[in-house]
Structures are given as C-alpha cells and as structure tokens.
Amino acid sequence: MGDYTLLYILFAPFVGAIALIFVSNRQTMLVRGIAAGSALVSLLASLYLFFTYDHVKAGFQFVQRFEWSRQLGISLHLGVDGIGAPLVLASSILLFAGIFVSWHIKDRMKEFYIWLLILAAATIGVFMSLDLFFLFFFYEMSVIPMYLLLGMWGSHTKKYNEMTDPEGLKQRDSVGFIFNFGSNSKEYAAMKLVLFLSAFAVAALMGILLIYKYAGLNTFDILVLREQAKLMNIPVLGTTLDKIIWILIFFGFASIAPLWPLHSWSPVGHAAAPAATSMLHAGVLMKLGHFSIIRVAFEILPETTRELMPIAAVLCMFSIVYGGFVAFYAKDTKYVIGYSSSSHMGYVFLGMAALDYISLTGAVMYMFAHAMATGMLFAMAGWVYDQTHTRDIPSLGGLSNRMPFISGCFVIACMASIGVPGTVNFIAEVMIIVGSWNKYPLQVIVAVVGIVLTLAYLFKMMRGLFYGPMDQKYSHAHDAVSAADRLPLMIMIAVSIGFFFFPMHLYNVVRSGVDPLIAKITRVVPVAQTGEGSGVRSEASATPRTSDAPLLANNPSPLTPYPSRGSE
C-alpha cells in the first residue's frame, strides 16, 4: 500500500457509497457485498497503517498533500501520528462490524449502507486531517448522515409509542412525518443532535477563522501554524486573543465529546439510532471532540492549554457522576449505554486535563478501548431489540435461555466497559488514574466512584435482560447463530482482549504522539544526545526538570519520552 495507505482508508467507503447508488435495492446480496467489501478494504489498510507505524521515528507519517487553493492556503493534507493512527483503526473496525450488525435491515438497505459508509469516512477524515479547513469539513460532514440515519432508520422510545394524539389515536410512526418533533420521537432526537452540534460547530469555526486571520500566515496547515502562529498577548475584549480562541475551540468541539452540560443531545441520539449508527456514534463520533481539541488547541495554543485546561478538570467530574447516576436509574437499554458513554468520556477529559505523559497516553488508549466496549454493547442492545421489539429493561428477563451466545458476549462487553483486567480498558483507566493523581486527586476519587457506578448499572441491566423469569411472549427470540451475526462481536472482543495481553505496540504508538505534545505544553523539550545519553531542558533555564519527564537513556523505557527526530 505504501504512500497511498491513507487514501485507501479514506476513500474506500466513499467509493463503496458511490457504487451502491447504481445498484438496485432488490439485489440484496450485491448491496451487502459492496458495503462489506469497501469496509474491508478500509479495515485492512488501517491494520497495515497501525502495525507499520514507526513509533521510534514518531511524528506524522504516511503523509499526503494535495493543494486545493493556493490563494486561501487550503490543501487536502493528510497524515497520522501516534494519536490519530489508533483512532483511524477504531473507525474502520466499527464500520466493518456495523455492516454485519445491519445485515438484516430490509427497509431501504442500499440507502442505509450509503449513509453509514459516508459517516465512517467522515470520522476517518477528521482523524487524518492536518489542515484546519478539511478537519472542520469532515467534522461537519458527519452530521448529515447522523440526521438521516436517526430520522429514517431510527426508532421512537417506549414512552413516545404509548402517547396518543388529541383524538385518542396512537402517534404515527413514519418517516414521512419528518417534522414530528414531539419529545422522545426519533425526529426530535435527530433534530436535537443537528442543532447542538451545528451551533457549537459555529463557535469552533469562529476559533479556526481567528487563528487563520491573526496568525498572518495565509494557511490552514496545522503543522505550519503550530510552529509559527503567534497569537499570544493580543488584547481583545479585556483579555487576550489566544484565550478567546481557546474557549471557542474547546467548547465548540466539547459538545460532541460530549462534556457536561453540553451532553443532552447524545443519549437521546443513542436511544433513537439504529444499532450500527449507535456503534459509530459512541465509538468514534464522540471522540471527534477530544481529538479535535488535541489537534487544534493542544498543538497550536500549548501555553493557553496549560493555563485553561483546569476548566475540563472541573467539568469532567459532573460528566462522570451525572452520567453514571442517570444510567443507573434509566430503564431503556440504549439510554443506559448512552449515558454510560457520556460518563466515560469524562475520564478522557480528566486524562487530557492532567497534562501528564501517562494520563494523556491513557486517555488516547481509553478512546480506542471505549470504542470496542461500547460498540459491543450497542450491537447487542440492537440484537435484543430486533428480537423482542422493546428496550424496556423491566419488561425483559431470562433471555440467556434463548440467547446464550449474546448473553455471554454481553458479560464480556460489560467487563470491558467497567475496566476489568483482561481488557485493554483496564490498562487505559489505570494510566488515567495514576497519571492524574498528583495534579487532580479529587477528580481521581470521583473517577473511582464512577467505576463503581459503572459496575452497578451495567450489572443491573445485565440481570434485567438475561436473568430471572422470562415473559413467554418473548419465547420466539433466538440467538445469533450465523457467521454474519457473530463476526462483528468476535472481532471487537478479540481486539479488546488482544490489546490487553499484547498492549505494547498500541502503547508505544500512542506514546510517540503524546510525548512531543506534552513536552511542548509543559515547556520541556528534548536536547540533542551526547555520547553517553541525553537529557531534557526547559525553554526557560530556571525551570527544573519535572518528574513527568525523566532523563532519556539510549534505550528509553516505556515510561520515558521518545527522542525526537532532532535527537536521533
């Protein structure tokens, strides 16, 4: 694949979506084959990208650049570092799994797969973009498929379906009523998602345009801006420009993360979305916020990040606790998993806020690990709904007798989401907690309480769905027996468990992207190696070396920063 690896990953889903336009919905197997084939190409290229990424060399690799507008300084500039590479892999895994999770969709299958492929490609585009224009372009592109997937293939909640109109008739369930914005309807969920994300995306766009204008470099290229942009100490509205830009970027992208109190669109969207859409929504769409903050705010405004990141440390506590308690009392399976995902994204913000090598590495690894765990949970919640036509936990029970494979996989997914040893989530959670303790001990205590809450509500849901007496009206439910039904779950389980027992490549790749970023933010930079080894120095000579950046040896340990290119 060589130099064109990123193009294969990014454009394979787009090519598949275009090919599907010319296929009839009556050609069921051909539609499935094209969707699965394009997703497989993207997955194989992502695996090649991830396992051939040189973590010793580090930096952005597999770079491609195509000039789009010389006058405006816009180019399709693609590349991945140690932070982007695992997230590209997560997107490709969930896309491939989502194709098979949706294998039995009958209503406009071709159109469903077209929008699912475009959604996954848009998220991949964000993780690859080294140009602010195209980063925002792909970010906004992801909103359109989400609206259509929710509004057309989504489902109303139980509460909505029990409502009646003024004439005593049940509310109609039809995509024709696209302006049906009654609370708990799928149209309401789709519109709320679009309004929230679009409104806050405008704030992020304002921040990007301010960077473009006041940097004075006539470019959107992130690599140029991070080295040459000087936005500090420009007085604006009683403060400085860099702080205004940072606030716009942070809260503009934090809404999709979703950080409390900007979270309310997300669980509603999870509840309404079809299973594959929920997998991509929770698995990678929510990570666009964290990633974009890292790529824009951390890279271009490192000093301001160090000064203002405590904002995230405060808000993440509310995300963890609020999401956990609401998930505990929720009775809808997708609401439980949706609020659980919102709660768990608080851990990522905690790891980011600590600005520590260990905590930020753990945060990026947790984004990857959470994608696998929540992907499994939503896939199985979708299977249970397809078999029983309800997501109401109190009305279910005893399904393990009918679904032994699904119930067994559900236990593994719950263990992963909790962070039990045996899954990669455990490693990531421990790193976040250990790396954040010195700076934010209160937040770490809250995070540990959140883990206990996670155990409580996931065990409660697992017991309510699969154990106890079963209502005989669900006796027709059956297990996942075909290869197409079992394959997506087995892939995600294998990845989650596999990276626990063999975590070093994932760790090394992520760490190679985190080290130079944290070094820049904390003003600790590598110095050239001299005969016996190397050291670190501060940009200000009076600043002592911190314990987070130990001296580099000729053979760095896993917990020491990698030498930069300049020190090799």
Name residue 80's beta-bridge partners.
61
Q: What angle do CA 410, 415, 420 make, to 5 degrees?
A: 170
Helices and strands in the chain: count of H runs, count of E runs: 23, 6
Q: How would you class 456 by CB atoms within 10 Å of its CB: exposed for 0-12, middle for 13-18, buried for 19 or more? A: middle
Q: What are phi and psi of 272, to 5 degrees?
A: -85, -25
Q: Which whole-number Å values give the CA distances from 14 to 39, 42, 154, 380, in the listed order?
A: 10, 10, 23, 27
Would you tell me how many other CB atoms lie within 10 Å of the CB of residue 463?
12
d(CA 374, CA 463): 18
Long-range contacts of 28-34 (CB under 8 A, 24+ apart): 28/109, 31/109, 31/110, 31/113, 32/99, 32/103, 32/109, 32/113, 34/113
Give the orientation angle of helix 483-501 with respect to helix 424-437, to 10 degrees. Answer: 40
> Which of 492, 465, 298 minimizes the C-alpha distance to 388?
465
Would you tell me how many other CB atoms lie within 10 Å of the CB of residue 39?
26
d(CA 281, CA 451): 22
Q: What are phi and psi of 343, to 5 degrees?
A: -65, -45
Tell me if 261 sits within 8 A of 318, measured CB to CB.
yes
d(CA 281, CA 119): 9
Q: What pLDDT is stored for residue 133 in this prediction?
A: 93
Q: How would you class 6 by CB atoms within 10 Å of its CB: exposed for 0-12, middle for 13-18, buried for 19 or more? A: buried
Would you tell me how many other CB atoms lie within 10 Å of the CB of residue 376?
28
Burial 276-302 (b: 16+ CB within 10 A, else e): bbbbbbbbbbbbbbbbbbbbbbbbbbb
* Amino acid present at 262: L
Two tokens, residue 152 = 């057309």
Task: Return the H-helix or E-strand segment holding 80.
Answer: strand 74-80
Q: What are phi and psi of 537, to 5 degrees?
A: -135, 160
Would you tell me how many other CB atoms lie within 10 Å of the CB of residue 131?
25
Task: Return the H-helix or E-strand segment holding 79.
Answer: strand 74-80
Tell me if 239 sits within 8 A of 247, measured CB to CB.
no
Q: Alpha-carbon dihedral of residues 253, 256, 257, 262, nearest 10 degrees?
A: 90
d(CA 367, CA 374): 11
Q: What pLDDT is stored for residue 482 in this prediction?
A: 86
Tell me if 111 sits within 8 A of 304, measured CB to CB.
no
Contacts of 140 (CB under 8 A, 6+ apart): 198, 201
Q: Alpha-carbon dihedral of residues 118, 192, 293, 434, nearest 10 degrees?
A: -110
> Residue holding tokens 């290119």?
565
d(CA 442, CA 73): 45
Contacts of 463 (CB under 8 A, 6+ apart): none
| HSE-CB of 478 using CA atoms within 13 angstroms | 6
Instruction: State whether the Cα torsion 286-290-293-299 is positive or negative.
Output: negative
Q: What pLDDT is stored for residue 115 in this prediction?
A: 92
d(CA 290, CA 352): 9
Instruction: Give the DSSP per-residue string, 239-307.
Output: EEHHHHHHHHHHHHHHTTTTPTTS-THHHHHHHHS-HHHHHHIIIIITHHHHHHIIIIIIHH-HHHHHH
Overall size of the chain counted in residues: 568
Task: Compute mean pLDDT per 10 residues along the chain, 568 residues long, and list them.
Answer: 82 93 88 93 94 90 89 90 93 93 84 92 93 92 85 66 44 42 64 82 90 86 84 65 89 86 75 81 87 91 88 90 88 86 90 91 93 91 85 84 89 90 92 91 91 90 86 81 88 93 92 90 52 38 36 34 35
Two tokens, residue 75 = 């180019």
